[in-house]
Structure formats: structure tokens, C-alpha cells
Homo-oligomer: A and B are copies of this chain.
Amino acid sequence: MTENKKIITEEQKKLARYAKAMGHPIRMYVLNLLSSQSCCYSGDLTEILPVAKSTLSQHLKELKDAGLIQGETEAPRIKYCINKTNWQEAQYLFKKYLKI
């Protein structure tokens, strides 16, 4: 087949990717926190959230990989913030597809 049936759009894939990253209570909590306040340190989260620090680290990595947050070294800690560009894109896509 030379022609490529693109039934599912790139936007839908992108949105699904963001949605997937948001699809866990802990990650949702972190996103909610970071979109409310400016930033936070993962140490703070470790104390509050009911998971091992290694597990939290994995969740943060997923949010990073999805592009929703970013971490900045502030030795010996790491400061996490929202990735504004991608967050705005996610906002736009959700808005568009949820018809909000």
C-alpha cells in the first residue's frame, strides 16, 4: 500500500500521550500542585505522598518524558516546574477536544 490511511491524527496521538501521563492519581496530584504553585522539590513530595521515593522518581520521570514537567538541578536537590510550553499545548488540546 503506497497510500497511508491516517485515520488517527497526530493531535489525537499527542493528546492521548498527555492524557496517559495524567492517568495516575499521583501524577495528577503532582501536575495539579505544579500548575498551582510555581515549583516544588521532590523531597517535599516524598514526605507527603504514600509511595517510596524510587516510585515517585519514576512517576516524575514519566511526567518529564511526556513533556509536562521539567527538573532543574539546585544541588543537592532538584526543583520541578511545569513545562510551560507543553502544558499550554495540553491545555489547548484538551480544550479543543473536550470542547470546553
Contacts and interface: CB of A to CB of B under 8 A. Distances in A.
Tally of this chain's copies: 2
A94 B100 contact: yes
Contacts of A20: 19-20, 22-24
Contacts of A7: 29, 48-50
A25 B48 contact: no
Interface residues of A, number: 33
Interface in A47-100: 48-50, 90-91, 94-95, 97-100
Contacts of A28: 8, 12-13, 15-16, 19, 97
A42 interface: no
A15 to B, nearest CB: 6
A97 B32 contact: yes
A8 B59 CA distance: 15
